[in-house]
Amino acid sequence: MKSFLTKIALLIPKNKRKKLPFVFGISLLNSILDFISIALLAPYLLLLFDANESIKFLSDTFSIQVTTTHIIWSLLFLVFFYALKNFIQTRIIFKQSKFVYSIASDISEQLMKNYFSGSYIEQVQQDKGSILRDFQQLPMLFGTYILLSLYYIISEAFIVFVFILLGFYFQPLATLFSISFILLTAFIILKIRNKKVTSLNNEISQTYKESLNQIMNAFNGFLQIKSAKSEQAFEDKFKRSNGKHNEQLSLLSIYKQSNIRYFETFAIVVIAIIILYVQVNGMEFINMFILSFLISSIIKFIPSFNKIVNSVIDIRSNRYTVDILSGYNLYPNKENSSKTPHFLKSIRLQDVSFSYDKNTPVIDNLSMEISKGNFVAITGPSGIGKTTLLHLCTGVLAPTKGNVLIDSQIVENTAFFDFVSIVPQQPFLFKGTLLENIVMKKSTDIDTSFIFKLLEVFDLNQWFKGLEKGLDTELMLDSKTISGGQKQRIALIRALYQKPNLLLLDEATNQLDTALEIKVLEYLKELVEKESLTIIAVSHNKALLDVATIHLDLKNN
């Protein structure tokens, strides 16, 4: 239990941990207000039993003559107190909920931050459905079912503890019997339901991930699915996973909501026994006062105890969220990584080997050196390691053996080199404006004149003039309304806008017609000659060889 609580604490950002005492402090204030409200309500319950005796008792107790006017004013005070209490408690709930869900947001943001700063090879090997679930759903589940449940246990346990103390003070035997019965009931509920609820939560997590995967399959494979006439198969697959997910959610909701029914039944039984006892044996008025307090306490006690039981079930059944999130190492110690050189002279691969699975080498004992200001064409059969070679040159992959050297300095860290821009085989367009897609959401020092020049060079002027909002035109995620060739040219403009020293192209012009491809390659050659831009381009197209200054043909490395 201690290690579990330690894991929870470590998932909470440091700036939020400092606020925990205050948050739990106001939760106790919330409980105290509930207790006071019950104590104030007890005298008025007496009026329902015997108004005359109640007035006499209050007059004797407070040494004043209680009149109807006093009762009216006290009732007004009671209404005012409850209104004030509920206002304060609403503010407490608002602050507590905002605090808890801000932690969930912080965790999601930290996961995204770590994703970008993490290992590229780990990212490409991860299940995307799991990533979506872990980044979006798990932090929310952690906040809702772990943090809020701990909050409820602490705040409601205070109320239960006070009621038990008072019960033992006034009616020890009855309290002992009641507590024993409640604990036995709670134990049976937890024993019977805990395993089932844990199973339901695991199913919910898995089916949610599966549903996300099916949605991504449908989005990414729209044309291929329709071409294969497989719409129904994909619909059925999604229907099964999504239907099962919603079914498990409904069962979980039923299980949690039904707990209070058992406790309510118990409360009615206890109150009925008390009333029968009073009717048969009679009771002094002072004991009637105590009885009224105890009955009102039971009314509050049952929901509190039910919250505690549900919170324990929630924590146990959602424990996996803590284990999964802890596995991400959310807040790693910042290491002093060596700075990457600026690529002033050359980039060299020295006896480099690389393997994704540490068994089958994709690149084996490759040595090459590229001086600044060259246009390098890389050719070779599919699967020989051309794209992997480009990734080694970006810095996101580290050699399994050998070294990457920039200006004769060995690169010791894996991080995307500042001087590199890359255009992959499948250009990435995101939901945002054309301008945002080019400058990659940067908002300062936008050089629109350079963008317009590149649009003209890459023969996109006519298309651009047809856009009503120009650079502010909204593009959709992987937009289907833009041709493959247009996407490639937008990706090239994006890469060149960064003004890199090293430009890496992975089949970046293979969707252009011959004349346009030659025009683009000639412009890139001009940049190499006039601005000493270095280009390493992978292509099966012979047009590339006409502009390249170096040709590297990969054959068995």
pLDDT, mean of residues 488-512 = 92
Alpha helices, DSSP H only, in 360-446? 386-394, 434-439
- Range of lowest pLDDT (272-281, 286-295, 314-323, 326-335): 286-295
Lowest-pLDDT choice from 43-52, 100-109, 359-368, 415-424:
43-52
pLDDT digits (tens, 9 = 90+) for 59-113: 666 666 767 787 788 888 888 988 998 899 888 888 888 888 899 889 988 888 8
Q: Are 506 and 488 in contact (CB under 8 A)?
A: no
User: How far is the C-alpha of 405 from the C-alpha of 422, rounded, in Å?
Assistant: 19
Q: Give the DSSP per-residue string, 100-119.
A: HHHHHHHHHHHHHHHHHHS-
pLDDT at residue 539 is higher than 80: yes
Per-residue confidence (pLDDT) for residue 557, from 0 to 100: 47
Q: Has residue 454 got a pLDDT over 90?
A: yes
Predicted confidence at residue 285, as pLDDT, reads: 44
304 phi and psi angles, rounded to 5 deg: -65, -45
The predicted structure's pLDDT at residue 11: 92
The pLDDT assigned to 338 comes to 56
Give the pLDDT mean for 539-547. 85
How would you label 360-397 residue by residue, b for 16+ Cβ within 10 Å and e otherwise? ebbbbebebebebbbbbbbbbeeebbbbbbbbbbbbbb
Average pLDDT over residues 528-551: 90
pLDDT in tens, 118-159: 777 777 777 777 888 888 888 988 998 899 888 888 877 777
Confidence tier at 296 by pLDDT (50, 70, 90): low
| Beta bridge partner(s), residue 553 | 379
pLDDT classification of 299: cutoffs 50, 70, 90:
low
Q: What proportion of the chain, given as a percentage, has pLDDT over 70? A: 80
Mean pLDDT in residue range 1-27: 86
Q: What is the mean pLDDT of the chain?
A: 81
Calculate mean pLDDT across residues 207-219: 75
* DSSP string for 320-350: HHHHHHHTT-SSPPPP-PPPPP--SSEEEEE
- On the question of pLDDT at 452 being above 90, the answer is yes
Is the pLDDT score of 288 beyond 80? no
Q: What confidence category does residue 42 fall into, taking pLDDT thresholds of 50, 70 and 90?
A: low
Residue 276 pLDDT greater than 90, yes or no: no
Say if residue 295's pLDDT is above 70: no
Residue 194 predicted with pLDDT over 70: no
Amino acid at 104: A
pLDDT band (50, 70, 90) for residue 286: very low
The answer to whether residues 101 and 60 touch, using CB atoms and an 8 Å cutoff, is: no
Rounded-to-integer distance, Cα 468 and Cα 85, Å: 56
Q: Residue 553, SS3?
A: strand
User: In the predicted model, is pLDDT for residue 181 greater than 90?
Assistant: no
Neighbours of 541 (CB within 10 A): 18
**Please, which pLDDT band fits residue 265 given cuts at 50, 70 and 90?**
low
Q: For the chain, how are helix, strand and coil distributed in percent, rounded to 5?
A: 65, 10, 25
23-40 pLDDT, tens digit each: 878 877 887 887 788 777
* Cα distances (Å, whole numbers) of residue 262 to 188, 189, 250, 268, 530: 11, 9, 19, 10, 82
Tallying the residues shown for the chain, one arrives at 557
Taking only the tens place, the pLDDT of each residue in 370-419 is: 999 999 999 988 888 899 999 999 888 889 999 999 998 888 877 788 89
